[in-house]
Amino acid sequence: MSQLIQELSKLINLLESCLPANPRAPENIRKAERLERKVKAYFKALEQAFPYDALEILYLRHVKEG
């Protein structure tokens, strides 16, 4: 009986890994990691491209408060 349960569990895990929306599927895990790296690189490039230390000076110079 326990062998049958183990085999069914393996079959269920195999079927779950093929579902497109399964977050635990190996392909989806790789895609999530790749997306995370791209997003980190994007925000790092954005941080380097925009002078955040000059933001206060730019704000005070160009924004008129009501």
What pLDDT sits at residue 23?
Answer: 84
Tokens of 59: 């704000």
What pLDDT sits at residue 30?
Answer: 94
Residue 45 has pLDDT above 90, yes or no: yes
Measure the CA–CA gap between 13 and 17, rounded to whole angstroms.
6
Here the contacts of 57-66 (C-beta below 8 Å, separation 24 or greater) are none
Q: How many domains are there within the chain?
A: 1
Q: Residue 37 is part of which domain span?
A: 2-62
Q: Where are the alpha helices (DSSP H) in 18-64?
A: 26-49, 55-62
Task: Report CA torsion sign: 8, 14, 20, 24.
Answer: positive
17-43 confidence digits (pLDDT tens) = 777 788 888 888 999 999 999 999 999
